[in-house]
Each structure stands twice: as C-alpha cells, then as structure tokens.
C-alpha cells in the first residue's frame, strides 16, 4: 500500500484547518457562555415573597444574557461564513471578542443583583461598556476582514459597509445609554445623533446592495 505521509500539506488545506479551529473555539466559548447564563440562576427567597418575585429577576437575567450572547453569535457566525480564510490578525480580534463574551453572564448578574456593592447605575454603566467593547470587536473584525485583509472578497462593498455600520450603530446606542447613566447630557445628544446618522447609512447601503445584480 502506498504511503501518503510524505505528501506536503497544501496551502488551502492549512487555511481551512485554521478556519475550522477558530469556528470550533468560537462555538465552544459561546456555548459555555450561554450555559453559564442558566447556571447563574440563583434565586434567593425571602419571607413573604411570591414565586414570581423570587424567580422574576433571575429569569430576566437569564433571558437577557441568552439574547445578547445569541445575537452576537449570529453576527460573528455571519462574518465567519463569508470568509475565504483567516489570518493572525482576525484570530486575535476574535480571541478578544470571545474573552468579552465569556464575561457577559457575570456582568449581567452584577447589573441585576448588585453583587459586590455595585449600585444599579454603576452596574448599568459596566454592562453598557461591556457591550460597547463586544460590538467594537465585531466591527473591527469585519472591517479588517472586508476592507483590509481582503478575507471576504465575495461580499459586495455596499453590503459590507452596511454590516459594518450596523455594528457601529449598536456601539453608538450603548454609548448613548452609558452617557445617560453617567449624567453626561450633552454627550447623550451627540452620540444619539451619531447613532441616527449611522443608521441612515445602514439603510442606504443596504438599499444599494439590494439593487446590485446577483
């Protein structure tokens, strides 16, 4: 029987292996974060409380955490789906994103329960800043893949810009929320107006993408 152990590994096989490992790692971290959202359900019953009062806030924490992590996973999956390959830069950005995703269940618990003496206002600011960092990573990853690294050449430019601006829109929205809880009224208005302008850009680029021939 002929041995194939001496055959060289082709470059596209190397790229595919890097891509597959990144996908497996990403799905694993997202799955663990989603599971921890359920583990964090720790209702504390006090005398006179109803079942709804005991479980209401923990369940809100769980579903909020699941929705946030799930929505980020969908956007990250979309990015990976359109890549022809991955490189070290995109891998590093993805690792930072995954590190932040792993913190989401903890951040939501702190925000809702006020653990560690954190006030509800401070908890909301921490939560908003975490989501800002997550969507900045999403935007950086897609911007690099689509416009710098040329890792997703099959995505039309208008659609690539639409997806990038959508991530920046989310960043601006949570930035406005953070400024609101920090009582920075002027910044709230400025960031909110920026969010509106970015959203208009999303709609326009998406319209251009739909008008392009397939």
Q: What is the DSSP letter of 26?
A: H
Question: In 3D, which of 160, 158, 128 has the Cα closest to residue 146?
Answer: 160
The answer to whether position 28 is within a domain reads: yes
Please give the tally of structural domains in the chain: 1
The answer to whether position 181 is within a domain reads: yes
> d(Cα 65, Cα 55) in Å, to the nearest integer?
15
141: containing domain:
13-39+51-211
pLDDT at position 189 over 90: yes
Kindly tell me the sign of the dihedral angle through the C-alpha atoms of 71, 155, 149, 140.
negative
The answer to whether position 206 is within a domain reads: yes
The answer to whether position 129 is within a domain reads: yes
| Chain centroid offset of residue 23 CA | 15
Residue matched to tokens 């595919």: 16
pLDDT at position 105 over 90: no
pLDDT tens digits for range 53-96: 666 777 777 787 788 888 999 999 999 899 988 889 999 999 99
The pLDDT of residue 1 is 47
Beta carbons of 57 and 113 less than 8 angstroms apart = yes
The answer to whether position 44 is within a domain reads: no
- The two structure tokens encoding residue 38: 């359920």
The answer to whether position 6 is within a domain reads: no
> d(Cα 125, Cα 45) in Å, to the nearest integer?
28
- The two structure tokens encoding residue 19: 């891509």
Q: Mean of the pLDDT values across residues 99-114? A: 80
pTM: 0.84
Beta carbons of 29 and 101 less than 8 angstroms apart = yes
The answer to whether position 85 is within a domain reads: yes
Beta carbons of 202 and 170 less than 8 angstroms apart = no
The answer to whether position 94 is within a domain reads: yes
pLDDT at position 5 over 70: no
């Amino acid at each position: 029987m002929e041995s194939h152990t001496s055959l060289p590994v082709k470059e596209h096989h190397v790229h595919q292996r890097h891509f597959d490992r990144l996908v497996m790692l990403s799905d694993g971290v997202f799955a663990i974060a989603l599971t921890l959202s359920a583990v964090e359900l720790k209702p504390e019953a006090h005398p006179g409380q109803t079942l709804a009062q005991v479980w209401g806030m923990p369940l809100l924490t769980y579903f909020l955490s699941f929705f946030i992590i799930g929505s980020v996973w969908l956007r990250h999956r979309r990015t990976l789906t359109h890549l022809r390959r991955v490189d070290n830069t995109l891998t590093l950005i993805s690792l930072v994103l995954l590190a932040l995703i792993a913190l989401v269940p903890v951040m939501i618990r702190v925000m809702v329960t006020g653990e560690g003496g954190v006030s509800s206002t401070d908890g909301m600011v921490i939560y908003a800043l975490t989501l800002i960092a997550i969507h900045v990573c999403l935007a950086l990853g897609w911007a690099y893949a689509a416009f710098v690294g040329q890792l997703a050449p099959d995505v039309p430019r208008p659609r690539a810009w639409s997806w990038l601006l959508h991530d920046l829109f989310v960043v601006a929205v949570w930035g406005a929320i953070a400024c609101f809880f920090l009582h920075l009224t002027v910044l709230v208005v400025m960031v909110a107006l920026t969010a509106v302008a970015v959203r208009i850009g999303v709609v326009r680029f998406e319209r251009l993408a739909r008008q392009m021939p397939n």
